[in-house]
Structure 1
Amino acid sequence: MEISMSFDRSSGVLMHITSLPSPHGIGTLGQAAFDFVDFLRDAGQRYWQVLPLGHTGFGDSPYQCYSAAAGNPLMIDLDKLVTDGMLTEEEIEAADEDWNPDKVDFVPLIAARYPLLRLAYARAQKMPRVMEAVQAFRESAADWIEDYTLFMALKEEKYEGAPLWEWPDADILHREPEALEAVREELKDEIDFRVFLQAVFFAQWATLRAYAARAGVRIIGDIPIYVSPDSSDVWQHPELFKVDADFKPKKVAGVPPDYYSATGQLWGNPVYDWKAHEKTGYAWWIWRLKQNADLFDVIRIDHFRGFESFWEVDADEETAINGVWRKGPGMKLFRALDAAVPELPIIAEDLGVMTDKVRALLRSTGFPGMRVMIFAFNRFDDNDHMPHNYPVNSIVYTSTHDSQSICEQILDICEPEDADFAKAYIRWDEREPMAWSAIRTLFASPASIAMTTMQDLLNLGADARMNIPSTVGGNWSWRVRKEGINRDVAAFLHHVTEVNRRYHPVPAVFDSTPLDEVEVQEVTPDMDYGARKYWTDVREQLALLRKANAFLTRFES
């Protein structure tokens, strides 16, 4: 059985929520996010790709979160809490520092942010309607919220930040019912505070998501293949991971040595016990995909090759050199996911060590794979990352959050001869920013979806890098300035999108017609191109709005 999946020819921009401009030190789900949706609409873009939205832990990485389901409280819009009467502008101004507009400084930001959030919670407790909405959210999220909030209360309040495997109380660590009941009572207020944060986060996300849908913008979310070792997921389901009796990882994930690293990459995440997952019918993965299907319109699955086989390393190793390849679940997992969440658009991040078996798995899933333009520029090699070689069923990028920008690659990293080749390939003649020429080339490729980063749109270099893999500190902090999101950039992107037949304006019928009255016609082979495109766009926009509105209704109170 193969899974069929296809995407219309379209385009979008990759930028994480935290990179948005904000006077409060970090990008949030506030006005700047809505303004960015407007920018994408004006630029003719169909997709906004974000990184995982989770509650970040070690290294502030969105790929190392305390829960596979919880949202990041740092993304909560403080100004909306003012509107809702939970904070005052003066209180926010008093807590704000002279924040760097180009970088998030996580340590002082967290120290300043949580007292404000606690103050908002204290006021919310006196607002019956708000607390009723929080309770309704709590009940709807019962399959994860209680374990996550107890985990965070224990970690932050009782154990002073200690990781899961260093918790001193064995009865709590091993989830003995009487011990958990007692500690829930002891930490009740802290638990309730963290439930409140999640309710606010998801209410704000639902509002932004619905606004994006009305603008015809689809949001691409990101599922990391692994979870953090210090997470509520491992505490709640230790049998699904290769951890010892004290929840400390026995086997961890990574990638073997390659051209870029003589010692490989040691990620430290516990690998899955795939036999245990199979015995459950992959129930945890189905739950995880359903959680994300509620939040996003398209989902990118990280490290796809790890589902065919994965690099497993003993946890006490200092490098990834001595790992071994272990067999992954393959199509058994993806058949189970497709049966549980059919027709969910999925993108496979298939970079890294590729083999015939990984390629065969990708073909069987039908998922589009990835290509990245910065890997193309070798004057002696006609490789898969060169735009003229892109398959139609692929999503392609000028660069990514894990890589250098186009400008850094060509100007600072390429050998001079390769840099000259790259400039010739993208037809750069110095009359426009170099990265814009690269974007033109990428958008003209055969690939179904063409993506660029905000860094490349602004022709930025090394200072704007989001992440350097296998390093800790200074990552995930880049922010765009408000003046960078401007009409000139939108006009350029709109033009490139339209001339390359990637433009999908929202059909005018949605401006004035209630959703239940929108006419839909079946697309037939005898229709001309314009009619086929129009009725396809109507059908897809209607589905987009219905899904976003259904999620929003859960939080409207």
Structure 2
Amino acid sequence: MTPMVMEDLFSTRRAGVLLHPTCLGSKWGVLGSSARHFLDFLADSGISVWQTLPIGPTHGDLSPYQSLSAHAGNTYFIDLAELIPAGLINADELSGRGYKKAREQILSIASQRFFDLQDNEVDFSHAGYLQFCQANEHWLEDFSLFCAIREAHAGSRWFEWPQALRDRNPQSLQDFIGVHSETLRRIRFEQYLFHYQWHQIRQYARERNILLFGDIPIFVALDSADVWANRNLFKLDKEGKPTVVAGVPPDYFCSEGQHWGNPLYDWDVMSENGFQWWLERLNSQRQLFDLIRIDHFRGLQAYWEIPADQPEPRNGYWVPGPADSFLEACFNRFPGLPLVAENLGVIGDDVEQLRQRFDMPGMTVMQFGFDGNADNPHLLRNHLPHNLVYTGTHDNDTTLGWYQSLDEHTRHNVNENLNGYGDDMPWPVIRAVFDSASVLAVVPMQDLLALGTDARFNTPGTIINNWVWRLDQNMCSPELASRIRGLLEHYNRLT
């Protein structure tokens, strides 16, 4: 599917919804009937953008911002029920199993059956599989090997593996491949399945005039195929452990700052071949999404570097990023690249000037607009057309929960600005977002359902009860779709 360019995406006023696919919560996977039903609801509502969080495979904490790969898809998204009509499994194999164990077993059965059967016996072609493997060889081989070694060592982190595998000794890797060839083939096939189903859903969305909006974390997880296979691109010691890590100083989201723990890039080394690793990463996302957000954009101008042996965020310091040279390489390689800058948090003029030099849309968030400062860029009257506006993001409380937690003075300020009394919250904020001058207005699904703090998806700086909220699609009623469509028509956001 041909990627769109920024001019096409921002040529008309649109409305979007923010919902990570895991929230769809189908037992057997989301890239099937669950995603199609949700897209039908969006189409009925007049919403033309579906924004997700990063869709890579996660660690045990479920954070989509700490993925095992910058390229691979999360195989828990694969809808196993869709494999029945495809001829890869039968209904009996899908029923009556424990969920996690069943997925592993069923995908293994599907993989074996795919390679055993002829093309006329299944809906997936062997030629398509080979084409996928060839087109993605630059990341798929390292990822498959990484996952297979990880499985063979009980899920341990790569820097804890035997030294020969940790350090990618060529003979040791060849010996491992010889013994585990079937596992490697299964992992490649799982990625083929993910990408096949994802593109089916993307086509379904495009037929309904809905664009997919993805998210790239600026940093990658230490325990990832990317770091294991490209150690020279990161600031690591001889054992593969970071010498410095990523984080942020104190800000709105966390008064103590945040220690993310991601390894930091050696940008000087990356620049030597024109940031090729990053260009490949962007190209992977271009194949999946129509619009892409770079999370923590300010890290391209300067990033917060925390010494690994002094892990408190307050011990960090700002280090210049690659800035113009990096973005020039990106836009030279991909003219019209549809990039959005996440420019929230501690943002100086230098960061905004970098964003504006490359004509990248930024973000405003309604929840940040009520501090009484007339110059606050998040205040409704200060919104700019070539930007995105949100009621809140995945890192905020739901708008209802936020409103209920405000002190009396700030709540009064909200009511004054929105010409209301909060009785119908969060709808006054939603109406304000749709009324904004910004070309794309995005509302988290929890806000469209008027849910409180119990539906919050993530609380920065914490590690429990995050990423687990699930949507009850029975709440996506025709009445709600009609209400949303009426507002979008009123505010000229129907495409």
Alignment TM class, shorter chain as reference: over 0.9
Paired position in structure 2 for 1:145? 140
Structure 2 Cα separation of the partners of residues 225 and 7 of structure 1 = 27
More displaced stretch, 85-94 vs 448-457: 85-94
Paired position in structure 2 for 1:110? 100
Tell me how far 1:489 sits from its aligned partner.
1.4
Tell me how far 1:461 sits from its aligned partner.
0.8
Paired position in structure 1 for 2:13? 9
Paired position in structure 1 for 2:486? 495
> Is residue 446 of structure 1 aligned with residue 467 of structure 2?
no
Paired position in structure 1 for 2:419? 427
The correspondence for 2:370, drawn from 355, 359, 377, is: 377
- The answer to whether the 8 Å contact 1:7/1:393 transfers is no
1:163-182 aligned at under 5 Å gives the runs 163-168=157-162, 170-182=163-175
Inter-CA distance 380–311: structure 2 relative to 1 (3 Å threshold): closer
| Structure 2, unpaired ranges of 5+ | none
Matched to 2:130, the amino acid is Q
SS of the residue corresponding to residue 260 of structure 2 reads strand
Inter-CA distance 111–60: structure 2 relative to 1 (3 Å threshold): farther
Tell me how far 1:132 sits from its aligned partner.
4.2
More displaced stretch, 225-234 vs 52-61: 52-61
- The answer to whether the 8 Å contact 1:300/1:347 transfers is yes
1:244-323 aligned at under 5 Å gives the runs 244-258=237-251, 260-323=253-316
SS of the residue corresponding to residue 116 of structure 2 reads coil
Tell me how far 1:468 sits from its aligned partner.
1.0
The correspondence for 2:407, drawn from 402, 405, 415, is: 415
Inter-CA distance 326–7: structure 2 relative to 1 (3 Å threshold): farther
- The answer to whether the 8 Å contact 1:56/1:72 transfers is yes
Tell me how far 1:381 sits from its aligned partner.
5.7
Structure 2 Cα separation of the partners of residues 84 and 137 of structure 1 = 18
1:28-427 aligned at under 5 Å gives the runs 28-95=30-97, 109-129=99-119, 130=124, 131-157=126-152, 159-168=153-162, 170-258=163-251, 260-379=253-372, 383-411=376-404, 413-427=405-419
- The answer to whether the 8 Å contact 1:310/1:327 transfers is yes
- The answer to whether the 8 Å contact 2:254/2:461 transfers is no
Matched to 2:50, the amino acid is W
Q: Percent identity?
A: 38
Matched to 1:153, the amino acid is A
TM-score (norm 2): 0.94
Matched to 1:435, the amino acid is P
Tell me how far 1:21 sits from its aligned partner.
4.3
Tell me how far 1:67 sits from its aligned partner.
0.8
Matched to 1:8, the amino acid is T
Structure 1 Cα separation of the partners of residues 19 and 402 of structure 2 = 19
Matched to 2:67, the amino acid is C
Paired position in structure 1 for 2:470? 479
Note the alpha carbon deviations across 1:17-73, whole angstroms, 9 max, x for none: 11114244xx51111111111111111112110111101114111111111100000
Matched to 1:138, the amino acid is C
Q: CA RMSD in A?
A: 1.8
- The answer to whether the 8 Å contact 1:282/1:336 transfers is yes
Note the alpha carbon deviations across 1:236-270, whole angstroms, 9 max, x for none: 11111111112111111000123553431000000
SS of the residue corresponding to residue 189 of structure 1 reads helix
SS of the residue corresponding to residue 60 of structure 1 reads coil
- The answer to whether the 8 Å contact 2:253/2:460 transfers is no
Tell me how far 1:485 sits from its aligned partner.
1.4
Matched to 1:87, the amino acid is I
SS of the residue corresponding to residue 228 of structure 1 reads coil
Paired position in structure 2 for 1:553? none
| Structure 1, unpaired ranges of 5+ | 97-108, 505-557
TM-score (norm 1): 0.84
- The answer to whether the 8 Å contact 1:4/1:366 transfers is no
Paired residue total: 484
More displaced stretch, 251-260 vs 208-217: 251-260
Structure 2 Cα separation of the partners of residues 8 and 250 of structure 1 = 46
Structure 1 Cα separation of the partners of residues 207 and 134 of structure 2 = 28
Structure 1 Cα separation of the partners of residues 27 and 154 of structure 2 = 30
- The answer to whether the 8 Å contact 2:301/2:351 transfers is yes
Structure 2 Cα separation of the partners of residues 254 and 7 of structure 1 = 36
Tell me how far 1:331 sits from its aligned partner.
1.0
Note the alpha carbon deviations across 1:91-124, whole angstroms, 9 max, x for none: 323125xxxxxxxxxxxx5344222222222322
Matched to 2:341, the amino acid is A
Tell me how far 1:296 sits from its aligned partner.
0.7
